[in-house]
Amino acid sequence: MRVGRSPTLKAEAAGRKAGRRDARSPGRGSGGGNGGRRPRRRRPLVRVVYWLTVLALWVGIIGGGAAAYVLFTVPDDALDLPQRERGLIVLAEDGRVLARRGTFRGDTVRTDELPSYLIDAVIATEDRRFYSHFGADPIGLLRALVANIREGEIVQGGSTITQQLAKNLFLEPDRTFTRKFQELVLAIWLEYRYSKDEILQLYLNRVYFGAGAWGIEAAARRYFGKSAREVTLPEAAVLAGLLKAPSRFAPTNNPELAEERAFLVLNGMVEAGYISPLEGQLAVDNPAALNLKPQDQAEQYVVDWITEILPGYVRVDDRTLIVHTTIDADLQKATGRVVRDVLDRKGEERDADQAAMVVLSPDGAVRALVGGRSYAQSQFNRAVKARRQPGSAFKPFVFLAALERGYSPDSIVVDRPVTVGKWRPANYNDKYYGEVTLQDALALSLNSVAAQLVLKVGPKAVASVAHRLGISSPLHHNASLALGTAEVGLIELTAAYAPFSNGGAGVLPHVIDRVTDDSGTVLYERRGSGPGQVVSADNVAAMNRMLAAVVTGGTGRAAALDGYPAAGKSGTSQDFRDAWFVGYTADYVAGVWVGNDSNRPMEKVTGGSLPAEIWHDVMTVAHADRAPKPLPGTDRTRPAEPFGIVDLLRSLPFGPSEARVRQPTETAENAGNFIERIRQSVR
């Protein structure tokens, strides 16, 4: 059915036509000064075009001015594309090379030398519209914005490969609007100056891939022991996946997360049409495997740590940096070997998977550092990053606080049950031994005495002493602090023992001594000696006397060095989850931790067993060519002799050799039984 016009509509149309004729005829109508004409009204489309033109002009003016401002505010040489030769060389104390990381001359690769699927993996993951945008991608930015709003968090980024290159080449890593705008303008400039393939090549040879690897070639060699020209599809997926968050997804840091990220990359390649679903599935079923160089072992924990902290010392830019460290290369290798060998021999039967060790000189310089049993299996640095309960290895701070309140090593304390609210710290098997000296209480690691001391001096005073000596981790102010229930790191706990070794001076553990560039210019050089005197000379002497008794006749007997004065303290956390031994001589301070990453209890591993054994073996190597030196405050050049109750143990008929068990327990069980036998004989 057609719709016709009504008479009324026809009349209205005729009237409008007549009106137009009248308006065109001069002198007609009844109008005023405009000849009877009505004012014209612009059509809506014309108005829209007009205002869009005005807006475009203003945007052009403002944008052009802003772009000019950006180009004037970047450094003068910023637009001269740097011929980057970024690299890092880490040297031991004697100048030997510990590691070479990063991009050096000859590491640059051309895109036409790389497998096509490696290029495709990067584009599919980082910037699918790379070959069609002008440096910025409005569509990609909008898509990322929608995805982030939908997820309620940042799950996608809107930066193109060109923008990332501009940031890496020219800008500081500031998260500001000005920096983002500079990045955008410079990205457009790069697109104007260089072809897409040149931009991609610059990007791949300069971007960071984690684990100290700058550039695709260095990354392929770092993770897979081969050139980037030879990587497989699964390996290419891992490398492309690193670009989003290099440290987080590094397979040397988190293999499971790296594999999950590679799976997402392969899915993206299938979605983008770069590979078939079958090719993607085959790559998923045959994931990439790490192929670290044989020498990439214990020393790599040190190199990783240096790579992380280096930006706090110097600006990491286009120069090749040479880091001169405090590491003793031979001792470093020996430490890694001992840690590995002891766990290989005894770890499985004692259900102990991991260990870490730090060796310092008395001034706090790191001479050796091992962050785990095997760097190839786990790159997590337990010596620097892990926080665990130290158990009785924390007690020296309790006893030092008591000395500062007037106690002495010969002060008599009563070993008896103690109750604080619902907390009842107990000795082994709930055995108590009555009157003992402060020295014997520390040598035998009597928990009830430590608890009484912390109640006498106050938990806050103990925490203050620990912080003063070098503990940087937060410490609670509960009475259980006496038994080491606050978590600390191995390197800070070891450094906190250093004042006993050096005569009372606090230290800051340090590994970087000097940083230069490849032309020899000194960019950083360590100066200063630390926080100064933190323990009085008298109290240093008293602590050395007590802690030497721990080694000669207490819970740390397995750590005793043949012919060399040493002191230290063992520690074991609840349920044998952590075992420690921290000790020192006049030449070195060293700490050992043994445990499981899962916090699983071990099979009765105490601080006086595996940790003391590791400590003993490493320190024996360290002192091989050194003459014996007395500990500060003592006059002996031979190992300290035990005192008090421990001295009585040595006077028993079966002699000192049998009294020194090879794997003493952390508790005072054995010593306690001996003490009771002595008392019965006296009766």
Per-residue pLDDT tens over the stretch 122-180: 999 988 888 888 777 667 667 656 665 676 655 455 688 888 877 776 655 554 555 66
What CA–CA distance (Å, rounded) separates 104 from 558? 47
Residues 271 and 356 in one domain: no
Is pTM beyond 0.85? Reply is no
Secondary structure of 606-660 in the HEC alphabet?
CCCCHHHHHHHHHHHHHCCCCCCCCCCCCCCCCCCCCCHHHHHHHCCCCHHHHHC
User: What is the structure's pLDDT at 58?
Assistant: 66
Same domain, 447 and 541: yes
* Of the listed ranges 88-92, 153-157, 182-186, 647-651, the one predicted with least confidence: 647-651
Residue 553 contacts residue 649 (beta carbons within 8 Å): yes
Q: Which residue has the higher pLDDT, 536 or 39?
A: 536
Boundary residue ending a domain (244, 267, 294): 294
Name the average pLDDT for the chain. 81
> 619 vs 126, which has greater pLDDT?
619
Claim to verify: residue 276 and residue 354 sit in the same structural domain: no
Shared-domain flag, residues 253 and 371:
no
In terms of C-beta density within 10 A (0-12 exposed, 13-18 middle, 19 or more buried), how is residue 479 classed? buried
Indicate whether 5 pLDDT > 50. Answer: no
Domain boundary among 234, 260, 294: 294
- The range of the structural domain enclosing residue 518 comes to 336-682
Greater pLDDT, 554 or 140: 554
Q: Which of 174-178, 447-451, 638-642 has the highest mean pLDDT?
A: 447-451
Count, residues in the chain:
683
Predicted confidence band of residue 585 (pLDDT cuts 50, 70, 90): very high
Residue 675 has pLDDT above 70, yes or no: no
Say how far apart CA 286 and CA 305 lie, in whole Å.
32
Q: What is the mean pLDDT of residues 283-305?
A: 82
Residues 280 and 353 in one domain: no
Same domain? For 288 and 363 the reply is no
Same domain? For 135 and 239 the reply is yes
Last residue of a domain, one of 239, 269, 294: 294
Does a structural domain hold residue 40?
no
Q: What pLDDT score does 396 carry?
A: 97
pLDDT at 172: 52
Candidates 653, 629, 656; CA nearest to 642 is 656
For residue 679, how many other CB atoms are within 10 A of its CB?
A: 11
Q: At which residue do the structure tokens 């401002």 appear?
A: 69
- Give CA–CA dist 643/552, Å, rounded: 9
Highest mean pLDDT among 28-42, 55-69, 85-99: 85-99
Q: Is the pLDDT of residue 674 over 60?
A: no
Instruction: Please give the pLDDT value at position 16.
Output: 44
Does one domain contain both 405 and 345?
yes
Residue 277, pLDDT above cutoff 70: yes
pLDDT of res. 298: 84
Going by pLDDT thresholds of 50, 70 and 90, the confidence category of residue 641 is very low
3-class DSSP state of 290: coil
Q: Above 60 in pLDDT, residue 609?
A: yes
Give the pLDDT of residue 179.
60
Q: What is the domain count for the chain? A: 2
State mean pLDDT over 224-246: 93
| Residue 76 included in any domain | no
The answer on pLDDT for 352 being more than 70 is: yes
Is residue 52 assigned to a domain?
A: no
Sign of the C-alpha dihedral, residues 576, 577, 579, 580?
A: negative
Asked if 303 contacts 512 with a C-beta cutoff of 8 angstroms, the reply is no
In a shared domain, residues 635 and 543: yes
- Residue 660: which pLDDT band, with cuts at 50, 70 and 90? very low
Model pLDDT, residue 68: 56
Report whether pLDDT(626) > 80.
yes
d(CA 134, CA 465): 61
Q: Per mean pLDDT, which range of 156-160, 292-296, 340-344 is the poorest?
A: 292-296
Query: Is 273 in the same domain as 393?
Result: no
- Inform me whether the pLDDT recorded for 391 exceeds 80: yes
User: Is 44 within a domain?
Assistant: no
Judged against a pLDDT cut of 80, whether residue 443 lies above it is answered with: yes
Indicate which CATH number applies to the domain containing 196.
Answer: 1.10.3810.10
Which residue has better confidence, 113 or 74? Answer: 113
**Least-confidence region, from 210-214, 242-246, 250-254:** 210-214
Lowest mean pLDDT among 125-139, 153-167, 390-404, 662-676: 662-676
Query: Is a pLDDT exceeding 60 seen at residue 40?
Result: no
Would you state the pLDDT for residue 107? 59
Number of other CB atoms surrounding residue 164 within 10 Å: 19
Does position 402 have pLDDT exceeding 50, yes or no? yes
Mean pLDDT of 580-585: 98
Shared-domain flag, residues 601 and 487: yes
Lowest mean pLDDT among 169-183, 242-256, 455-469: 169-183
Across 384-393, 523-532, 561-570, least confident range = 523-532
Residues carrying an active site annotation: 126, 392
Locate 419 and state its tokens.
Answer: 């109750």
Higher-confidence position of 302 and 143 = 302
CATH code of 502's domain: 3.40.710.10
| Lateral strand order in the sheet of 522-525 | 97-102, 87-91, 320-325, 512-517, 522-525
Residue 399 lies in a domain: yes
Distance set, CA 264 to CA 230, 374, 621 (Å): 22, 29, 48
pLDDT score of 24: 43
512 close to 313: Cβ distance less than 8 angstroms: yes
Higher model confidence: residue 139 or residue 114? Answer: 114
Whether 287 and 342 map to the same domain: the answer is no
More confidently predicted of 417 and 581: 581
Predicted confidence band at 644 (pLDDT cuts at 50, 70, 90)? very low
